[in-house]
Amino acid sequence: MSKYIKDRTPQIVTIGEDQHDLACEKKSAAGSVSQRACVFCGSRVVLYPIADALHLVHGPIGCAAYTWDIRGAMSSGPQLHRLSFSTDLREKDVVFGGEKKLYSALTELIESYKPEAVFIYSTCIVGVIGDDVEAVARRLSNETGVDVLPVMSEGFKGTKKDGYKAACDALMKLVGTDDNYLPPKYSINILGDFNLAGELWILAEYYKRIGVEIIACLTGDGRVEQVRKCHKASLNVVQCSGSMMHVAKEMEKKYDIPFKKVSYFGIEDMSDALYEVAQHFNDPELMANARTLVSEEIAKLIPALQPYRQKLEGKKAAIYVGGAFKAISLVKALRLLGMQTVVVGSQTGNKDDYNLLQKICDKGTVIVDDSNPNELSDFVKQTGADLFIGGVKERPIAYKLGLGFCDHNHERKEALAGFVGMLNFAKEVYASVCSPVWKFIQK
């Protein structure tokens, strides 16, 4: 049995040993136990946090059932997003088409919920049977006056990343539809935060403290009305660039709004995110506020981190996450805890991110694109990692290998953004890596 899937060698690099650039953005080989998801999944996770919109999955039941409230995106108000609406396509619909069903489902729904907007997600099967979702959406928009937005997210059309793009396309149809809004002096949009575990609320507080207002967050704790007027902001601050870069670029083209790529994870990146925004507005007062905030928070944080750092110093970490950009911040944050990253990979990273990873990681670190459980388990053993950072499918694998684990995907319960997030992260890593349970197993 050969360990790795043939032709995957270009997608694996060990720093210091391999000379080639990491290959990425390739299709997974048929037959791989890939950890990847689909286009629909990408769209669903991006748009789902818009809490006053109605999200209807047009397809067979599973696609809706699996994405029912899996993201833990919190809303401070409406909870309409937490219901799972599906056209539940049956055999008959597959043969005769599902447009009628879609139309009547939506008429019923719009009448009873009067949502601010509707997103229709088309799944694989819809793409294959050829329902004209766009036409149904147009017709309903005309008849009801509610914006009905098709999200062309047929699963087979690519990876999760293509789903982000489909979601962005749908969002762009809402952006700019309220032109009467007068923005405050210093206003930004946050792109690519999903308010998992209430993270947006932490960020909003920071920005408020330095004197900047958030018009809209796409899409954490999202509201349709905010999306409509977010083109009035002076700056877009893009966090999960993988998912939201497209909107940022479009808004730059269309509304002349510049954007900045930031990360809210780890001290360095969080501080930079605040400074860059302050700098953008070129107001000394903002900058001064940002400095005060950062120094106040760091003064609190560093001593609080100390006990964890002491225990974690010298431990090794493996990272496997959705996008590679996230991994960059993770490498830095782990360093702050005295930890070294020995394996790092992602499902859908791009060249730039991987190149940067190759630069910032140490010699001997394995970098991998679109990996699978066999490989991951091997890399972990080779490198002697003590911690695994990943998502739902990696968690039990890590545990079985006797490693600590930290969730950095949809499933996480801890806010990891901002200074307080860094402390939460340290606690979580510590609790897992230093758990007494590991002494019961012989590795």
Partner 1 sequence: MLLRHTTEKEIDRKALTINPAKTCQPVGAMYAALGVHGCLPHSHGSQGCCSYHRSALTRHYKEPVMAATSSFTEGSSVFGGQANLLQAIGTIFSVYDPDIIAVHSTCLSETIGDDLKQIVAKANADGKVPDGKHVIEASTPSYVGSHVTGYHNMLQSIVQHFAIKTDEAKRQVNLLAGWVEPSDMRELKRISKMMGIKTVLVPDTSDVLDAPMTGKFEMYPKGGTTIPELVSMGDSMKTVAIGEWATKGAAIALDNNCKVPFDMLDLPIGVKATDRFIMSLSKAGAVAVPEEIDRERGRLVDMITDMHQYFYGKRVALFGDPDQLLPLCEFLLDLDMVPAYVVSGTPGKTFGKRMKEIFGDKIDQVKFKNGANADMFQLHQWIKQEGVDLLIGNTYGKYIALDEKIPFLRMGFPIVDRVGHSYFPTLGYMGGIRILEKILDLLMQYQDENSPEEKVELVM
| Segment 151 to 180, residues that bind ligand SF4, using CB under 6 A | 155
Task: Select the residue interacting with ligand SF4 from 12, 13, 47, 63 (CB under 6 A).
Answer: 63
Indicate the residue among 63 and 190 with the shorter CB distance to ligand SF4: 63
The stretch among 165-173, 177-185, 305-313, 398-406 that binds partner 1 (CB under 8 A) is 398-406
Shorter beta-carbon distance to partner 1: residue 163 or 211: 163
Partner touching 266 among ligand SF4, partner 1, none, CB below 5 to 8 Å by kind: none
Query: Is residue 61 a contact residue for ligand SF4 (CB under 6 A)?
Result: yes
Residue owning tokens 């005309």: 142
Classify residue 270 by its DSSP letter. Answer: H
Measured CA to CA, the distance from residue 268 to residue 264 in angstroms comes to 9
Count of other CB atoms within 10 angstroms of residue 396: 11
Q: In 3D, which of 172, 301, 296, 266 has the Cα closest to residue 227?
A: 172
Tokens at residue 62, please? Answer: 């599973």
User: How many residues lie near ligand SF4 (CB under 6 A)?
Assistant: 12
Q: Of 176, 393, 427, 434, which lies in the binding site for partner 1, with binding defined by CB under 8 A?
A: 393
Tell me which residues in 97-156 interact with ligand SF4 (CB under 6 A). 123-125, 155
Which range binds partner 1 by CB under 8 A, 216-224, 255-263, 292-300, 435-443?
A: 435-443
CB of residue 220 to partner 1, shortest distance in Å: 18
Q: Where are the alpha helices (DSSP H) in 258-384?
A: 267-281, 284-312, 324-336, 351-360, 373-383
Contacts of partner 1 in 93-152 (CB under 8 A): 93-94, 100-102, 104-105, 108-109, 112-113, 123-125, 127-129
Q: For residue 333, give both structure tokens.
A: 């944050």
- Residue 368 pairs in a beta bridge with 12, 345
* The binder of partner 1 chosen from 21, 96, 156, 362 (CB under 8 A): 156
CA nearest 172: which of 245, 235, 221, 240?
A: 245
Q: Positive or negative, the Cα torsion across 268, 195, 241, 334?
A: positive
Q: Which residues bind ligand SF4 (CB under 6 A)?
A: 38, 40-41, 59-63, 123-125, 155
